[in-house]
Structures are given as C-alpha cells and as structure tokens.
C-alpha cells in the first residue's frame, strides 16, 4: 500500500512512522510530507531513505491512504484534496472531529461504523481516546450516567516546540515559549483556548467527542484539563457514575479482558499506572480502582496512556489496519 504521512517531521508523524514499521503495516511506498521548510529532507523508514515532498506532489503520487498530523488548518485545506483524489485520509487534528458527516473512531469502541465511503476519518483527541477505551466495557455493562475527569497532560501533547520549552527552562536557556507561562516545575490549568462557557477547547473536546465515539448523547461529561511538566503520557483521574451498581472485582475482570487495556491495580505492592511506565507502549493502563463512597454506583479510577501512541499514532494506524482488513480502502464513492 502507498502511504503518505503528512506532518512526517513532527512528534506525531515521527511516531506514526515508528508504529507503521513496528506493526508491519504493508507499506510498499512511503510518501513523507511536511511544510515547505522541510521539503527534500531525508526520512528513514525501515532502513530506506525517503525524501520529504509537498502536499501537491504527494497527491500526484496517488497514495492509497494518507495519515495526517500537520495541524487543523493544513487538514481543513488539504484533506479534501486528497479525498477528492480517492485517497483515504485519517486525520489527527481537531478539524473534522465534530463534523456530522465524518466518523470519529477509536477501533476498540466503534470501528464498525466505518464504510468504504468514509474518505476523511477523524482520530479523536488524545485525552478522549484513552478515556473511552476504558469507559466502553463499563458502559456496556453498567450504563454510564456521568463522568467527571481531571487530566494531567504531557508536554508532548503540544508538539516539538513544547518539549523544547520544557528542556530549555530546565537548562536555564531563555528560548521561545509555546505556553503562556513557565511549564517546568509548574502546572498550567489551561489546554487550548478558553471558550465562552469558561471551559477550554480541550475540555469541550473531551465532553463532545466522548458522546460521539460512544454513540450515546445521554452520557454527561465534565472535564478539567491540565498541562504538567511530564513526558511519556497523559494521566487522568476519572469518576464514573453508573445507572446500575457494580462489583469491583467484576470491573477489574471486565477491564482486564477488554482489548487494549492493562489493569495495574495492586496498591499493596504500590502498583498503579504512571506515564514513565506507559511511555512508548500502545495500551491504556487503568488502576486505583475504588468505589466513590460518597455516592451510589460510582467508581473512581486512574487512566494513563502514551498520548503520542494510543492517543495519536497507534490509533490512526489501527484505523488504517481495520480499513485494510475489511478491504475498505480505495473502494469508496469518490475513488
Ligand atoms: N502531540 C499529540 O499528543 C497529539 C495527539 C493527537 C493529535 N495531535 C495533532 O497532531 C498534529 C501534529 O501534532 P505534533 O505534536 O506532531 O506537532 P509538531 O511536532 O509541531 O509537528 C507538526 C508537523 O506538521 C508539519 N506541517 C506544519 N505545517 C504544514 C503544512 N502547511 N503542510 C504540511 N505539513 C505541515 C510540520 O512540518 P515541518 O517540520 O516542516 O514544520 C511537522 O511535520 C496536530 O494537529 C495535533 O493537534 C497531536
């Protein structure tokens, strides 16, 4: 399969190349794409060198599938051009996620909504992906009424420049800043811009995307999203109220038996999920499972995952794998 990676020089794009190689996705030809400043740069993939090209050149080469991670405005402009040429786009930005004509997919939850007619498929927000992977088996058994989530998000979620800011600050170098404040030794309770209701866009993404992916508008979600000076993954404290009561050991079994989840919940031995342990892994790690003793049918838990992998690259590649396995690439109406 001819595969274009748009944003191949970025944090997510680099991880996509790594995940495509590791999972042995059947890439016959790689087309790396980035901004004009990177054209001609060499990218190594499975020991072979590929030159970065422009989006226009990439479309001319007619890839079967294009994995986009080059920001929302690039996606809004370029993804339709790929789709019109019959190329299946899997997009990591927020550009298409809430478009009612586009599918928003986490394979463990709702891959079955995909058809050959879907030419632009949206990859959800990283914090939302790891949360819905854990919510899905619980919703199927106990029906979720309300979720209260607070996030502790890695600087890798903001891209290369944010990682540079953290390490510059740590070394005492006065470099460019992508956050409005110092991030090293600090906690910033703002991710993305504020909206009129006082929530940030990141918080609204978690609220709205969860309902869309789970296919259930009745699930109430409220979120506080926070940036912390950590690499390796996002962590989430999640309080879940169900319609029906649950048994804690059954919750552990349900989660352990669900695809993509690893339960790390052995407090006697101080075992719980942490970003250092989740780094460069594909799974969603769940622990600190306990009843909320202040309210009936309510569970507290702690969810950690590598935002660049399951939160972005791995989820996108899993969507491509599903499409390939079901023969849904290159078959659609626009093809
Ligand atoms: N980081 C995460 O955890 C995460 C998770 C989910 C989704 N995302 C989304 O993924 C996207 C990329 O994030 P990132 O963290 O990888 O950012 P990043 O490290 O800043 O990389 C951005 C990439 O986009 C390329 N690019 C920029 N403008 C372009 C243009 N006009 N045409 C073609 N390529 C262009 C850049 O190329 P140059 O190197 O040439 O500038 C670079 O390859 C964003 O939309 C982000 O919201 C990120």
Q: pLDDT digits over 183-239, tens only?
A: 999 999 999 999 999 999 999 999 999 999 999 999 999 999 999 999 999 999 999
Q: Whose CA is nearest to atom 14 of ligand 1?
A: 159
**Whole-angstrom distance, CA of residue 166 vs CA of residue 33:** 27
Q: Whose CA is nearest to atom 4 of ligand 1?
A: 157
Global pTM value? 0.96
Which of 11, 31, 68, 69 is the best mutation target for the ligand 1 pocket, counting ligand atoms within 8 Å of the beta carbon and taking the most? 69
Q: Is 69 in the pocket of ligand 1 (CB under 6 A)?
A: yes
DSSP secondary structure, 194-210, as one string:
B-TTS-BHHHHHHHHHH
Taking the centre of ligand 1 as the mean of its atom positions, its distance from the CA of residue 159, in whole angstroms, is 7
Q: What does pLDDT average to over the chain? A: 97
For 322-329, the CB contacts below 8 A with 24+ separation are 322/107, 322/111, 322/114, 323/65, 323/88, 323/114, 323/121, 324/1, 324/25, 324/26, 326/114, 327/116, 328/88, 328/114, 328/115, 328/116, 328/118, 329/1, 329/64, 329/65, 329/88, 329/116
Is 128 annotated as belonging to a binding site?
no
Q: pLDDT digits over 109-138, tens only?
A: 999 999 999 999 999 999 999 999 999 999
Is 307 annotated as belonging to a binding site?
yes
**Does residue 301 have an active-site annotation?**
no
Taking the centre of ligand 1 as the mean of its atom positions, its distance from the CA of residue 80, in whole angstroms, is 18
Q: pLDDT digits over 142-174, tens only?
A: 999 999 999 999 999 999 999 999 999 999 999
Q: Is 312 in the pocket of ligand 1 (CB under 6 A)?
A: yes
Q: Is 287 in the pocket of ligand 1 (CB under 6 A)?
A: no
Q: Is 311 in the pocket of ligand 1 (CB under 6 A)?
A: yes
Q: pLDDT digits over 246-291, tens only?
A: 999 999 999 999 999 999 999 999 999 999 999 999 999 999 999 9
Residues 287/271, Cβ–Cβ less than 8 Å: yes
Q: Is 32 in the pocket of ligand 1 (CB under 6 A)?
A: no
Taking the centre of ligand 1 as the mean of its atom positions, its distance from the CA of residue 5, in whole angstroms, is 11
List 126, 139, 279, 301, catalytic entry: 126
Q: Is 204 in the pocket of ligand 1 (CB under 6 A)?
A: no
Taking the centre of ligand 1 as the mean of its atom positions, its distance from the CA of residue 7, in whole angstroms, is 5
Going by pLDDT thresholds of 50, 70 and 90, the confidence category of residue 331 is low
Once rounded to an integer, what is the mean pLDDT over residues 39-65?
97
Taking the centre of ligand 1 as the mean of its atom positions, its distance from the CA of residue 13, in whole angstroms, is 7
Residues 106/132, Cβ–Cβ less than 8 Å: yes
Q: Is 273 in the pocket of ligand 1 (CB under 6 A)?
A: no
The alpha carbon of residue 208 and the mean position of all alpha carbons in its chain are separated, in whole angstroms, by 15
The percentage of the chain sitting over the pLDDT mark of 90, rounded to a whole number, equals 98
Is 37 annotated as belonging to a binding site?
yes
Going by pLDDT thresholds of 50, 70 and 90, the confidence category of residue 333 is very low
């Amino acid at each position: 399969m001819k595969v274009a990676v748009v944003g191949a020089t970025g944090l997510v794009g680099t991880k996509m190349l790594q995940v495509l190689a590791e999972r042995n996705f059947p890439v016959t030809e790689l087309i790396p794409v980035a901004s004009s400043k990177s054209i001609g740069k060499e990218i190594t993939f499975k020991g072979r060198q590929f030159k970065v090209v422009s989006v226009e050149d990439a479309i001319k080469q007619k890839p079967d599938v294009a994995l986009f991670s080059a920001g929302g405005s690039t996606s809004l402009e370029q993804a339709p051009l790929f789709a019109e040429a019959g190329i299946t786009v899997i997009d990591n930005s927020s550009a298409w996620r809430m478009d009612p004509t586009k599918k928003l997919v986490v394979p463990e939850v709702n891959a079955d909504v995909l058809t050959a007619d879907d030419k632009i498929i949206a990859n959800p927000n990283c914090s939302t992906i790891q949360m819905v992977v854990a919510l899905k088996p619980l919703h199927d058994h106990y029906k979720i009424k309300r979720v209260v989530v607070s996030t502790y998000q890695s600087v890798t979620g903001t891209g290369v420049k944010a990682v540079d800011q953290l390490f510059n600050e740590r070394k005492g170098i006065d470099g460019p800043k992508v956050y409005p404040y110092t991030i090293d030794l600090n906690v910033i309770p703002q991710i993305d811009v504020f909206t009129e209701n006082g929530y940030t866009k990141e918080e609204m993404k978690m609220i709205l995307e969860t309902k869309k992916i789970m296919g259930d508008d009745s699930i109430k979600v409220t979120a506080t999203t926070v940036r912390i000076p950590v690499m390796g993954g996002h962590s989430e404290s999640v309080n879940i109220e169900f319609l029906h009561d649950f048994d804690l050991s059954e919750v552990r079994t349900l989660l352990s038996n669900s695809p993509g989840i690893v339960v790390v919940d052995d407090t006697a031995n101080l075992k719980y999920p942490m970003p250092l342990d989740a780094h460069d892994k594909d799974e969603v790690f769940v622990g600190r499972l306990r009843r909320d003793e202040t309210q009936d049918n309510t569970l507290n838990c702690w969810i950690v995952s590598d935002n660049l992998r399951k939160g972005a690259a791995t989820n996108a590649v899993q969507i491509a794998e599903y499409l390939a396995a079901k023969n849904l690439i290159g078959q659609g109406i626009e093809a």
